[in-house]
């Protein structure tokens, strides 16, 4: 087994490289993805090794990027589009929800759109306006799209390859503030069977309460579990990994054991993913719950200026406070 310690960003780069090597129909396209290697250097070195016909620097036109990729996908290619920052995806929103999501259904299954839309999302890097957003609910609400988010280097490496190999259009959310966090990556990991793309995983077992998170908040939840353990409280942390379709099987099993649940995400609470997750857990686990399902989220405001973003983002203390409240009912 070839196991290396990589940053999450480098794991994505390695996964993209593997996909380009394995399938000549894979093309990467986006603003500055070629010579520069992307603003976060996720595509660094790929144009040099695979050429500018497969790693394509596009104009600054997100709608044009996605529209072109739709045509490529219809013709049998597997385009991987990079949206430079989460807040830049909105010019392409019409293409994504009107064309990418609906083409397979509209054609009665005759046309597939095997494309991946990579979006660095979330806050925590001190960026300026339009550079720190959490748009996942927009896409998860759209039938025909699949939405996933990696939280560690191993998942980044495997999930990006699985997404590219999928015949369905996938919005691939990358937690930008975790790009530089390191972890072990099994470079020989099987891509198909051992790591299902649309399946949650137990990131840390526990017995007293269940904490559900995805993307950048998984690390925060794990840190909260470590802190709680010092007080004798064992939290089970579940990394959802797939936002649409939601896989809550592990969550249901966990909540039936712990009787308590906290859902954590960076996006605003109003009509966020936490609302849907809390509703489903209440429906499925009602008689096992010792207290209401609580949510720890961003606030219902536009994303604030960088100097106060730490006040906006859910942190360890807010997660622990919610856990404490589940024991106070």
Out of 104, 131, 198, 265, the active site residue is 131
**What tokens were used for 9?**
């960003």
Any idea what the CATH number is for the domain that residue 136 is in?
Answer: 3.40.50.970
127 and 205 assigned to the same domain: no
Total count of domains within the chain: 2
Of the residues 128, 163, 186, which one is the last residue of a structural domain? 186
**What tokens were used for 73?**
């996908």
Q: Nearest-CA neighbor of 218 among 102, 314, 139?
A: 314
Asked whether the beta carbons of 329 and 291 are under 8 A apart, the reply is yes
Region 107-133 average pLDDT: 95
Q: For residue 278, what pLDDT is reported?
A: 98
Could you tell me if residue 52 is inside a domain?
yes
Structural domain span for residue 314: 201-326
Q: Nearest-CA neighbor of 323 among 256, 246, 259, 257?
A: 259
- Determine which of 100-104, 241-245, 302-306 has the lowest per-residue pLDDT on average: 302-306
3-state helix, strand, coil in the chain (%, to 5): 40, 20, 40
180 and 223 assigned to the same domain: no
Write out pLDDT tens, residues 25-40. 999 999 999 999 999 9
181 and 257 assigned to the same domain: no
Q: For residue 52, what pLDDT is reported?
A: 96
Share the mean pLDDT of the chain. Answer: 96
Q: Please give the model's pTM, rounded to 2 decimal places.
A: 0.96
Instruction: Tell me if residue 141 is catalytic.
Output: no
Could you tell me if residue 53 is inside a domain?
yes
- For residue 103, pLDDT over 70 is answered with yes
Any idea what the CATH number is for the domain that residue 322 is in?
Answer: 3.40.50.920
Neighbours of 60 (CB within 10 A): 11
Write out pLDDT tens, residues 272-307. 999 999 999 999 999 999 999 999 999 999 999 999
Tell me how far the alpha carbon of residue 285 is from its chain's centroid. 26
Write out pLDDT tens, residues 84-94. 999 999 999 99
Unique residue bearing structure tokens 């353990």: 229
């Amino acid at each position: 087994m070839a196991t290396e310690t990589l940053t999450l960003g480098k794991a994505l780069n390695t996964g993209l490289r593997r996909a380009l090597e394995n399938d000549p129909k894979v093309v990467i396209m986006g603003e500055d993805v070629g010579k520069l290697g992307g603003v976060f250097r996720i595509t660094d070195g790929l144009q040099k090794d695979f050429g500018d016909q497969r790693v394509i620097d596009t104009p600054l036109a997100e709608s044009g990027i996605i529209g072109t990729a739709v045509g490529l996908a219809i013709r049998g290619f597997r385009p991987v589009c990079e949206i430079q920052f989460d807040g830049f995806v909105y010019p392409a929103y019409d293409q994504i929800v009107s064309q990418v999501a609906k083409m397979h259904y509209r054609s009665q299954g005759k046309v597939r759109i095997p494309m991946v839309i990579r979006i660095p999302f979330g806050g925590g890097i001190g960026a300026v306006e339009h550079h720190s957003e959490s748009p996942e609910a927009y896409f998860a609400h759209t039938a025909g799209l699949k939405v996933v988010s990696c939280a560690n280097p191993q998942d980044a490496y495997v999930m990006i390859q699985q997404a590219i190999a999928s015949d369905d259009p996938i919005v691939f959310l990358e937690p930008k503030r975790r790009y530089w966090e390191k972890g072990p990556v099994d470079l020989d990991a099987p891509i198909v069977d051992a790591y299902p793309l649309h399946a949650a995983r137990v990131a840390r077992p526990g017995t007293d309460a269940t904490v559900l998170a995805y993307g950048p908040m998984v690390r925060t939840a794990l840190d909260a579990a470590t802190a709680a353990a010092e007080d004798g409280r064992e939290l089970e942390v579940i990394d959802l990994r797939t936002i649409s379709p939601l896989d809550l099987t592990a969550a249901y099993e966990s909540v039936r054991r712990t009787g308590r649940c906290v859902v954590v995400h960076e996006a605003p609470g109003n009509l966020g993913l936490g609302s849907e997750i809390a509703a489903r857990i209440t429906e499925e686990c009602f008689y096992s719950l010792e207290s209401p399902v609580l949510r720890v989220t961003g606030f219902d405001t536009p994303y604030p200026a960088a100097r106060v973003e730490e006040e906006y983002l859910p942190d360890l203390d807010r997660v622990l406070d919610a856990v404490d409240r589940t024991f106070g009912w």
